[in-house]
Amino acid sequence: MSTEQPTIIYTLTDEAPLLATSAFLPIVRTFTAPAGIKVETADISVAGRILGQFPECLSEEQRVADTLTELGKLTLKPQANIIKLPNISASVAQLKDAIKELQGKGYKIPDYPEAPKTDEEKDIRTRYNKCTGSAVNPVLREGNSDRRAPKAVKEYARKNPHSMADWSQASRSHVSHMHAGDFYHGEKSITLDRAREVKMELIAKSGKTIVLKPKVALLDREIIDSMFMSKKALVEFYEKEIEDAHNTGVMFSLHVKATMMKVSHPIVFGHCVKIFYKEAFEKHAKLFEELGVNVNNGMVDLYNKIGTLPQSKQDEIKRDLHACHEGRPELAMVDSAKGITNFHSPNDIIVDASMPAAIRNGGKMWGADGRLKDVKAVMPESTFARIYQEIINFCKWHGAFDPKTMGTVPNVGLMAQQAEEYGSHDKTFEIAEDGVANITDLSTGEVLLSQNVEAGDIWRMCQVKDAAIRDWVKLAVTRARNSGMPVVFWLDAYRPHEAQMITKVKMYLHEHDTAGLDIQIMSQVRAMRYTLERVVRGLDTISATGNILRDYLTDLFPIMELGTSAKMLSIVPLMAGGGMYETGAGGSAPKHVQQLVEENHLRWDSLGEFLALAVSLEDLGIKTGNTQAKILAQTLDGATGKLLDNNKNPSPKTGQLDNRGSQFYLAMYWAQELAAQTEDTALAARFAPLAKQLTTNEQAIVAELQAVQGKAVDIGGYYQPDLAKLDIVMRPSKTLNATLAAFTA
Ligand SMILES: NC(=O)C1=CN([C@@H]2O[C@H](COP(=O)(O)OP(=O)(O)OC[C@H]3O[C@@H](n4cnc5c(N)ncnc54)[C@H](OP(=O)(O)O)[C@@H]3O)[C@@H](O)[C@H]2O)C=CC1
Ligand SMILES: O=C(O)CCC(=O)C(=O)O
Ligand SMILES: [Mg+2]
């Protein structure tokens, strides 16, 4: 038994999860304190991360620690027990908004340098770049991923099915992806024969050698890939698909993951915008260059930059942009009421969330007129786009899934140690000149992988470490054994990277007793088909996938099965022995903040947080020998079950029970469960008065929580809300606050 006080690290993040945590944390502490468990916080919000980059610009009181780096180090220790809430993976536009907000609050941090020239500006830009895109998850995910719908949650969804729009066999919705010239087609992959140090360089046709990445240290038996996307092929593909959508009268939408693929996907996105508005971009090319317009950051960047021009010039540009819509297909909207299209910002439509939403809507997205319409879903990279076409085909034939009867698809995802594409952004480059792109051994000069590339192509190297793969296979076998479900490894033997993976998976499966287990390997399209054939028959199938499909499938299936990925249990067994517990599988729901600020109603569902806390406590109990932690875990699970049975989830409608009400019910049921358990009578006695008080005051507390709704509130900031104001807004029940305070006193 450890002598240190058992500690859970609770992350403070952004947007809806931060709002919810500010109310939930006092409840958590109330319950964990009697068991001697410490709950510490770690601020990894985008605002906190920005401030952490510029200590020299801040006063002593303003300075914050580099919490993310510290937390990253903790994940490498066996005692790590971290509750990780979803955080913003910021686009450049969001970053700039956050900088502005912080400057307005008196933090003297520099402006974001649009076109850095001096060394100082370049340094600032480098520091800010550390805060964009998916900057948190890859640092903390030092383990593979186990995401699933717990039994109670699945049962709840079966009894209370969410709405699913009908699918028509006449639906014209489809996925369009490249058939040549994308990363899939040009990929080369090897497994290393020993540890090596390599460089990435371009031997240009002009004779120049451009070193793009001077050194990458690789481990023995690591798999590395070299792949590129041809700009020419991409541009041709967009031209063809835009024209096809126009000719056939189907709405056009573009789905990327510009947060995690923070270097490649903004470029992929930008080309599409430039082709869609080709004539306007050609006409104003010089001016846009002078203004530093970069539509890789979305049309929002263009509109911001032209805002400095005389009104007549702005009007002319806008007229030219609007004129482009003539002869172009209708564009899918992000917010039709506000006129925000799919091209507004590359982060507005994030494929893992956007495609499931469209499939749940019968294959439709919103048009400018506020109506749902069939859509051409453009995902240039073919590697994973095909799974969506497969599920669309399935829905067209079988109709929408039925949450009452459908099976479940848990996921075991390879994500440790920045695996695969999601860890590649520091090794992704837009090629400046035609030439040969080589990955070369630094000490021997041997060229390990080589590609012929052209100016504008996107070239990248991905890595996945042997230890991560071995751990992933073990996790898949363990999950198969514990659940009794078959496992399918979604691996495509025709893709060079995955051919290497298949060899390793087969090898590592031999390390385990797989007798009686059903473990298969199938290409993604076949795996999707096989899984769906089982899903409609009510059968369950574990998907064991690489990092991208982990992300895609853990939104896709939960959204079909449960209506949201918020209700997922997301465990990351850290390879060093600790545990990280993510809360759900989705994001930070910016729309929910807007509703809170305008109407004081928070629809965010903290169920994922309740589930995460229970496994965190359970793990802490086992590892530290704290039996009360185990009881807290069991009773919390019981409370979550009651919450579901009694339907005390937050409602999306203002005036009804919201996140705060749902949290109150969790606290009440948890106290009741603790008071009722007989394993630890002292603990039962300790919680009995709390259970009694919360139960007696149920009506009063719910009424107090309800009474505040319907009016606008001030939380003192978006990226860095004022914690005191947040406390007032998120904890409006005097009775509840007083009861918790009296218990702790
Ligand atoms: N683990 C992480 O850190 C992740 C972070 N992100 C980040 O989150 C931000 C938003 O991403 P986006 O793609 O819009 O996806 P989100 O998952 O945040 O939002 C999509 C929709 O899902 C629903 N939803 C998601 N979680 C919950 C919840 N707990 N309770 C209720 N509803 C929920 C909401 O639908 P409705 O409004 O209809 O109720 C929401 O509008 C981005 O900055 C992104 O990078 C995204 C994924 C994971
Ligand atoms: O880190 C991010 O930006 C998003 C992560 C994500 O979508 C996921 O892991 O499901
Ligand atoms: Mg995701």
Q: What is the mean pLDDT of residues 375-387?
A: 97
CA of 673 to the centre of ligand 1 (A): 31
- Residue list for the binding site for Mg(2+): 352, 551, 555
Q: CB under 6 Å to ligand 1: residues?
A: 86-89, 137, 259, 350, 353, 564, 566, 584, 586-591, 603-605, 652
Res 647: pLDDT: 94
Calpha distance 583→55 (Å, rounded)? 31
Token representation of residue 44:
């990894």
CA of 551 to the centre of ligand 2 (A): 6
Res 338: pLDDT: 85
pLDDT band at 24 (very low <50, low <70, confident <90, very high): very high
Query: Ligand 2 atom closest to Cα of 145?
Result: 9
Residues with Cβ within 8 Å of residue 212, at least 6 apart in sequence: 200, 201, 202, 429
Q: Whose CA is nearest to atom 12 of ligand 1?
A: 587
What is the per-residue pLDDT across 312-328, written as a single tens digit (0 to 9) for each?
A: 999 999 999 999 999 99
Res 223: pLDDT: 98
Are 44 and 67 within 8 A, CB to CB?
yes
What is the share, in percent, of the chain residues with pLDDT greater than 70?
100
Q: What is the mean pLDDT of residues 186-193?
A: 97
DSSP labels for 537-572? TT---EEEE-HHHHHHHHHHHHHHHHSSGGG-EEEE
Q: What is the mean pLDDT of residues 46-53?
A: 97
3-state DSSP of 599-655: HCCCCCCCHHHHHHHHHHHHHHHHHHCCHHHHHHHHHHHHHHHHHHHCCCCCCCCCC
Taking the CB of residue 212, how many other CB atoms lie within 10 A of it? 18
What is the per-residue pLDDT across 538-594, written as a single tens digit (0 to 9) for each?
A: 999 999 999 999 999 999 999 999 999 999 999 999 999 999 999 999 999 999 999
CA of 260 to the centre of ligand 2 (A): 7
Res 11: pLDDT: 98
CA of 137 to the centre of ligand 2 (A): 7
Identify the burial level of 41 via C-beta atoms within 10 angstroms of its C-beta, where 0-12 means exposed, 13-18 middle and 19 or more buried: middle
Q: Whose CA is nearest to atom 9 of ligand 2?
A: 551
Give me the amino acid identity at 136: V
pTM of the model: 0.96
Evaluate if residue 1 carries a pLDDT over 60: no
Token representation of residue 651:
């409602």
In this structure, is the dihedral angle defined by the CA atoms of residues 420, 426, 427 and 433, taken in order, positive or negative?
A: positive
- Element containing residue 43 per DSSP (H, E): strand 38-43
Query: Is ipTM strictly over 0.90?
Result: yes
Angle at 99 between CA 95 and CA 100, to 5 degrees: 120
Residue whose token pair is 């793969």: 469
In this structure, is the dihedral angle defined by the CA atoms of residues 642, 644, 650 and 655, taken in order, positive or negative?
A: negative
Residue whose token pair is 């520099």: 110
pLDDT band at 3 (very low <50, low <70, confident <90, very high): low
Taking the CB of residue 2, how many other CB atoms lie within 10 A of it? 13
Q: Is 582 in the pocket of ligand 2 (CB under 6 A)?
A: no
Q: Which ligand is nearest to the CA of 349?
A: 1
Query: Ligand 2 atom closest to Cα of 89?
Result: 3
- Residue list for the binding site for D-threo-isocitrate: 147, 550
Report which DSSP code applies to 45.
-
CA of 738 to the centre of ligand 1 (A): 33
- Residue list for the binding site for substrate: 134-141
SS3 state at 211: strand
What is the per-residue pLDDT across 620-662, written as a single tens digit (0 to 9) for each?
A: 999 999 999 999 999 999 999 999 999 999 999 999 999 999 9
SS3 state at 567: helix
Q: What is the mean pLDDT of residues 698-706?
A: 98
Residue whose token pair is 């390599």: 198
Are 230 and 181 within 8 A, CB to CB?
yes
Which residue from 68, 95, 352 has its CB within 8 A of the most atoms of ligand 2, so it is best to mutate? 352
What is the per-residue pLDDT across 416-453, written as a single tens digit (0 to 9) for each?
A: 999 999 999 999 999 999 999 999 999 999 999 999 99
Which residue from 18, 82, 89 has its CB within 8 A of the most atoms of ligand 1, so it is best to mutate? 89
Q: Whose CA is nearest to atom 7 of ligand 2?
A: 551
Query: Ligand 1 atom closest to Cα of 87?
Result: 3
Q: Kindly list the protein residues that place their beta carbon closer than 5 angstroms to ligand 3, a single-atom ion.
A: 352, 551
- Element containing residue 571 per DSSP (H, E): strand 569-573
Evaluate if residue 69 carries a pLDDT over 80: yes
pLDDT band at 2 (very low <50, low <70, confident <90, very high): very low
What is the per-residue pLDDT across 324-375, written as a single tens digit (0 to 9) for each?
A: 999 999 999 998 888 899 999 998 899 999 999 999 999 999 999 999 999 9
Q: Which ligand is nearest to the CA of 260?
A: 2
Average model confidence (pLDDT) across the chain: 96
CA of 145 to the centre of ligand 2 (A): 12
Query: Ligand 1 atom closest to Cα of 592?
Result: 37
Residues with Cβ within 8 Å of residue 315, at least 6 apart in sequence: none
Q: Is 662 in the pocket of ligand 2 (CB under 6 A)?
A: no
CA of 568 to the centre of ligand 1 (A): 13
